[in-house]
Amino acid sequence: MVPVQCVLSIFRLHGFRLPYPENPTKCDPYELTGDANEVWSFWERIYGILKDLFFLKERMKPYIKEHMRRCCDEGIPLMRPLFFNFRSDENTYEVEDEFMFGSDVLATPICE
């Protein structure tokens, strides 16, 4: 199983990283970055997984951009409950741990 912080790092390759300095107002800005969180900072097995996820994120950018345009123009949310897309399926009204990400991507928990 891939540690959560590794998966999350693919979406956030910048910004504050622990440990937090004792006095953040009187330190070098580099000290505010903390430990490494770049894709290549993790061990080899994880690097391959993160690299694939990073390229997936890049491939999804046009999809996300188009759906964000629809959010602005039509008021259709990017993240939506299943019943938003599948109104005739009564089972979708009971689902609480899945959602649609745009019109074509189902986000669902993976436990194993």
Query: Structural domain tally of the chain?
Result: 2
Question: pTM (2 decimals)?
Answer: 0.59
Same domain for 103 and 55, yes or no, is: no
Average pLDDT, 10 consecutive residues per value, the chain (112 residues): 42 55 61 60 76 87 93 93 94 94 90 78
Note down the domain range covering 94: 77-112
Same domain for 89 and 55, yes or no, is: no
Same domain for 68 and 81, yes or no, is: no
Q: Each residue of 92-111: pLDDT tens digit?
A: 999 999 999 999 999 998 88
Same domain for 20 and 36, yes or no, is: yes
Parallel/antiparallel/unpaired status of strands 79-80 and 99-101: antiparallel
What per-residue confidence (pLDDT) applies to 31? 55
Same domain for 11 and 56, yes or no, is: yes
